[in-house]
Amino acid sequence: MFCTQCGANNADTAAICAQCGRNLQAVTPAVPSQATGVILPPGTTVQNYLVFAILATVFCCLPAGIPAIVYAAQVNGKLQAGDLAGAQMASKNAKMWCLISLGVGLGVVALYALLIMVGVLSGLHQNR
């Protein structure tokens, strides 16, 4: 089927346009999504937190950032398949892993600041 917004050719079973993300199921409500039977309202998007997942991976803490990216991919994959509930679940997981990353990152910064303070204090002590 052709997307009504950008004209891209999509598979007939696609829930949203691969090109622009427009909800195709709502445009043709006669064919409800196979996965859930739920018709997504037009313009439905589910936050995938991809930007934050990449930031977490590159700046915070590698091990927690990778699952966040994997879940971000899952959000868009489930949206492509018309599985809104699944996409929202994956979105929650992506957010959780971003927050874990942030927590670990802030923990490292706090620990480092503490070590520096201890170092400075012991330095003062030795100079006396």
Partner 1 sequence: MLRRDENRLLAAMLAAFAVGVMMLRVFDPATSGIFPPCPVRYLTGWYCPGCGSLRAIHQLLHGNLRAAWAMNPLTVVLLPFLTYGLASSALFEIRGHGLPQPFLRAVWIRALCAAIILFGIARNLPLHPFHLLAPGTMLHL
Confirm or reject binding of residue 44 to partner 1 (CB under 8 A): no
> Buried b vs exposed e over 46-66: b needs ≥16 C-beta within 10 Å?
bebbbebbebbbeebbeebbe
Interface residue with partner 1 among 12, 37, 58, 126 (CB under 8 A) is: 58
Selected from 33, 44, 57, 101, the binder of partner 1 by CB under 8 A is 57
Q: Does 20 bind partner 1 (CB under 8 A)?
A: yes
> What sign for the dihedral angle of Cα 23, 29, 34, 36?
positive
* Contact residue for partner 1 among 2, 7, 42, 51 (CB under 8 A): 51
Stretch that binds partner 1, among 12-20, 25-33, 34-42, 120-128 (CB under 8 A): 12-20
3-state helix, strand, coil in the chain (%, to 5): 60, 5, 40
Type of residue found at 44:
T
Is there binding between residue 33 and partner 1 (CB under 8 A)?
A: no
Residues that bind partner 1 (rule: CB under 8 A) add up to a total of 34
Q: Under 8 Å CB-to-CB from 55, ≥6 apart: which residues?
A: 65
Binding site for partner 1 (CB under 8 A): 16-21, 48, 50-51, 54-55, 57-63, 66, 69-70, 72-74, 76-77, 79-80, 104, 108-109, 111-112, 116
